A and B are shown apart, each in its own frame.
Chain A
């Protein structure tokens, strides 16, 4: 069955750049979307499509994709960016979520 694979945990120094990746066959056919989730809160959309940010999402968040890999990049990470990040895409059966990446800002 299809799946999306993310690294479980990533860390970044305050103000530095971090890339969070998501791999899966479905990404060859569909763009990923990315969600930020802080403890006790619902997920929030941060990136969708080729590289689109919803209103209110800082421009330090960006997205890219190549082949079966989608990436979320945070340029100049801030303390408030510490959260879990999930990728999502459609697939032939419905929708898939990655396992999530816990981002720690040091």
Chain B
């Protein structure tokens, strides 16, 4: 059973960099057709996709956050990480890491879905 666990500071000062790590257990981060994503949710609001990384190191980011986001992977530790720079109070949220599976169905149709999620970690931006 794959498990994901977020870790990192729960409090970050404005203008600083938010750093989180997701540790994957129960399977290798390098095996299979999976992308590894970060998703966040401000209190009382909806989910926002932040970005993803493939084990090759290729990344995609939400255009609205792209200038401030870096996602990296450490296959030796079975971890991937998020850095979000120049944070403000608007970045206060529960941050989730998630595995995105890629499955090829009949007739070559490819489907994508988040099959495993971490429990989430609250990050508050405040001085």
Kindly state whether residue A33 has any CB partner on chain B within 8 Å: yes
Kindly state whether residue A67 has any CB partner on chain B within 8 Å: no
Q: How large is the interface on B (under 10, 10 to 19, 20 to 34, 35 or more residues)?
A: 20 to 34
The answer, among A33, A50, A94, A100, for a CB contact under 8 Å with B60, is A94
Of A54, A86, A96, A97, chain B has the most CB atoms within 10 Å of the CB of A97
Count, chain A residues at interface, CB 8 A: 26
Residue contact A94 to B51, C-beta cutoff 8 Å:
yes
The residues of B with any CB-CB pair to A shorter than 8 Å are 37, 39, 46-49, 51-52, 60-63, 96, 100, 103, 105, 109, 111-115, 117-120
The residues of A with any CB-CB pair to B shorter than 8 Å are 1, 30-31, 33, 35, 42-45, 48-50, 52, 54, 86, 88-90, 93-100
